[in-house]
Each structure stands twice: as structure tokens, then as C-alpha cells.
Amino acid sequence: MRLSLIALGLLAPLPAFALTCEYTVECFEEEACQPTDFTIDIIPGDLDTLEGVTSGLAELRDVAGTQGAHYVSTDDFTVVENRATGDDTLFRIVIGPEGVSRYQVLILEGPLAVTYHGQCTETD
């Protein structure tokens, strides 16, 4: 599966650059985690930073279409969240130091959770 996230300024105060996040482990609820091959592309744009916190809007694109998202970034982490329009699903990407990342899909009805473990790296 391949998703693209076009963000208006992720990982500030670092310079804006594109990232590819590759997820290799998928964990569904309390079941044993399984190998996976899941990629998200992040393409930053304009930054809005106040007192060391960068925040703004983003677009989450996948095979179902394009949806808006919000992001918040500090020196230590970046969080991007999206709630699917007309759906009870929340999408959350967390990127920590050294690019370590978690991508969570939270289905509010149930509730159910799927977590992907991976790494984000700078791309051209």
C-alpha cells in the first residue's frame, strides 16, 4: 500500500525536505505483530513556527482520495492526525528522534487499533 502525505512543514526546525516512511511491522489490537510493507511519502511546504512549535494543515492522500490533516512538530517529535470524513477512523503518524515512526489507524467504533512500526528517511 502506498500513501502520500503532503504537509505544510513537517519536522521543523529542520530544513524542509521530503521524507519516505517505510513501515515493516503491523500490529492489530492484541494479536501478534506481523511483517508488512507499507510506505508513506511526506512532502513539506511552508512552515508556521511559534515559540519552537510548528503547526499547520496537511493533506493525506490514498487510494480512497484526499483528506485534510493537522500536524504539530517540535524539536523532539512530529504528530500528524486526520479523521476520515464521514467515517469513525482516526489516522495518526508520530515521528520521533532519528526518524523512528509509528503510524496508527484508530477505528472509533469498536474501538480497534492497528499500529505500524517503521523508519522515516530524507528523500530527494
* Residues 53-72 pLDDT 10s: 777 666 555 545 556 666 67
Count of domains for the chain: 1
Whole-prediction pTM = 0.75
Contacts 24+ apart (CB under 8 A), 105-109: none
Range of the domain at 97: 2-123
For the domain that residue 34 is a member of, what is the CATH number? Answer: 2.40.128
Peptide linkage before 111 cis (omega within 30 of 0): yes
* Residues 19-57 pLDDT 10s: 778 999 999 999 999 999 888 776 665 557 777 777 766
